[in-house]
Amino acid sequence: MEKLRDIFSFSTLLLGSSLLVFGGILLLQNYTDFIFLSNYYVELCVFLFLVTALAFTVSYLGMMHNSELGVVGILGGMTIKMIVSLSFFIFVMYRFPDENRVILGLNFFCIYLLMSCFEVIILLRILRRKIK
């Protein structure tokens, strides 16, 4: 039961922080003349949220199964997430050639790095708590 609670709390924290970042960027774009968001920003956010939640679940369950191999579980989840995310990014980039690729790339990597950083911080906090 504790495992499901931790996974659910991570997912809600990640969703809340994603909505906060999205709202901030949307406000910034509305009040300036610059274009910060791609046409596919929402799709990227949803896809990366789902992939991050899946990678967190895999890493978390690996840590709970064997805490000595927790770092291997974290790196395995991050590797799977990176391969799936980059495949999706390349698919979107070449499927829709009329899109501004620089803005799409910046949006993708900003979302990816923010979610990865958040995931690693939470996983290391759980791992530290489990080792003590």
Q: Tell me, what's the pLDDT at 85? A: 92
Joined together, the tokens standing for residue 22 give 């999205």
Q: Tell me, what's the pLDDT at 29? A: 82
10-residue mean pLDDT series, the chain (132 residues): 78 84 83 80 87 86 76 82 91 82 86 87 77 60
Domain residue limits, the chain:
2-131
CA dihedral 87, 88, 91, 96 (to 10 degrees): -150
Q: Tell me, what's the pLDDT at 132? A: 58
Q: Tell me, what's the pLDDT at 84? A: 93
Packing angle, helices 70-95 and 101-131, rounded to 10: 170
d(CA 26, CA 103): 14
Q: Tell me, what's the pLDDT at 87? A: 93
> For tokens 């799409």, what's the residue?
104
